[in-house]
Every structure is written in structure tokens, then in C-alpha cells.
Chain A
Amino acid sequence: QTVVTQEPSFSVSPGGTVTLTCGLSSGSVSTSHYPSWYQQTPGQSPRTLIYSTNTRSSGVPDRFSGSILGNKAALTITGAQADDESDYYCMLCMDSGISVFGGGTRLTVL
């Protein structure tokens, strides 16, 4: 069974830079997995940040960026702000046609 891995938690200082990663329990993540990233605050619907590895969704500020780093997908937030404190999820598309979310990373800004 495919498992998508994310750091359970991360912290960043206001104004700092943080990189969250998204990996596979077996194998490497590539652009053919069309990595996407989502932000969710409690009680709200998720918000799409990045799709197809590095394309920002409409209205997403350019301090959010996506990439492939080594064998993982990555979401980098530069100039972190207090309202970036959220849960972040990645999703990968598998060759079989199914998609799988990672377990999510809780980001704290302090």
C-alpha cells in the first residue's frame, strides 16, 4: 500500500523560511506524481496552494513555492506570517489512477 509521508509538525519564526516535504514510503517523488499542496485551518475547507509540482493556484502569494528536492516534493514558505499557521497536506497521483494524501504537517509560527 502506498504511503505518502510528511513531517508531523514544524515550526518557523515570523519572517523566516520553512520547507515542508512530501515523500513516498517506497520510491521517489517526481513531477509525474503531479504533487499538490493544500492549506487548512481548523473548521475551514482546504485551500489549494500548489498543483502540478510548482504552479500556484489563483490568488496564492508568491512566497509559497513548490519544487522537487531530491526524492521528495517540497513546499517552501518564505517570509512566514502568523496566519500561515495551519495544517499543510500534500497529495500525489499514482500510476494506478488513484491519488493519496499525506498525513499532513502542522506548522506553528512562533
Chain B
Amino acid sequence: EKQLAESGGGLVEPGGSLRLSCAVSGFIFTNAWLHWVRQAPGKGLEWVGRIKSRAGGETTDYAAPVKGRFIISRDDSKTTVFLQMNSLKIEDTAVYYCSVDSGHSVAWWGQGTLVTVSS
């Protein structure tokens, strides 16, 4: 069964850091490209970034609002993908979803983890 389980969300002050994890099972993880997508309260979906597989050079790309502040990494031995979020802003408050790519799309979704940036 394909499963994705995000963790690590919570309350953080502006300027702080947080690291999200996503445990993935049921996939050939080493071949998987992985995305992070977020959704602010009452708003639409926003693509955050993506990491390719090792065969793809583990290349990362990021949306403009998070580029230079967020870092996506992966640990194939633990079938886990991470989102390191630094210099957090109030506007980063959102539910963060990890997902597995198929056909250059977000194909499978986790349940999401809530990140709240507030003083």
C-alpha cells in the first residue's frame, strides 16, 4: 500500500526554523521524485519544491517565495524526504503536503502537517 506520512509541523516564531519529515512506503523510493506542496488557510495549493531521484542527480527546484530559505533533501536508506525551512515568515503558515511524482505531476499525497508561524 502506498503511504506518505508527514511530521514535524508546529508553532514557530517568525525568523525561526523547522524541519519537516515525510516517511514514504509502498514505492520504489530510490526512483521517486518527490514534491512538497503547501496550502495556506482558506487558500489554494502552492507548489513549494521538488527533489529528483539519485539517478536524476537529486536536483532540486524551488518556488520563488521559498528559494534560498527552504531546502529539500532525501534519505533513500530511510525512504524519507525532508523540508528544512529557515527564516520563516508569517506567510509560510500552511498545511504542508509531501507527495510522489508521476508523469511530472503530484500523484500521491500525504495527509499534511500544519506549520504555524506566529509570535
Contact = CB atoms under 8 A, between A and B. Distances in A.
B30 interface: no
Nearest to B59: A97
B97 A99 contact: no
Interface residues of B, number: 24
Interface stretch (B69-77, B78-86, B108-116): B108-116
Contact of B105 (A47, A48, A96, A100): A48
Q: Number of contact residues on A: which range applies? A: 20 to 34
A1 B44 CA distance: 18
A1 B97 contact: no
B103 A52 contact: yes
Contacts of B28: none
B99 to A, nearest CB: 9
B61 A97 contact: yes
Interface centre among B59, B62, B103 (most CB of A within 10 A): B103
Contacts of A57: 107
Interface in A60-76: none
Interface stretch (B10-18, B19-27, B45-53): B45-53
Contacts of A96: 61
A91 B119 CA distance: 33
A36 interface: yes
Interface of B: 35, 37, 44-47, 50, 59, 61-64, 97, 102-112
Interface of A: 1, 34, 36, 38, 40, 45-48, 51-52, 55, 57, 87, 89, 91, 93, 96-104
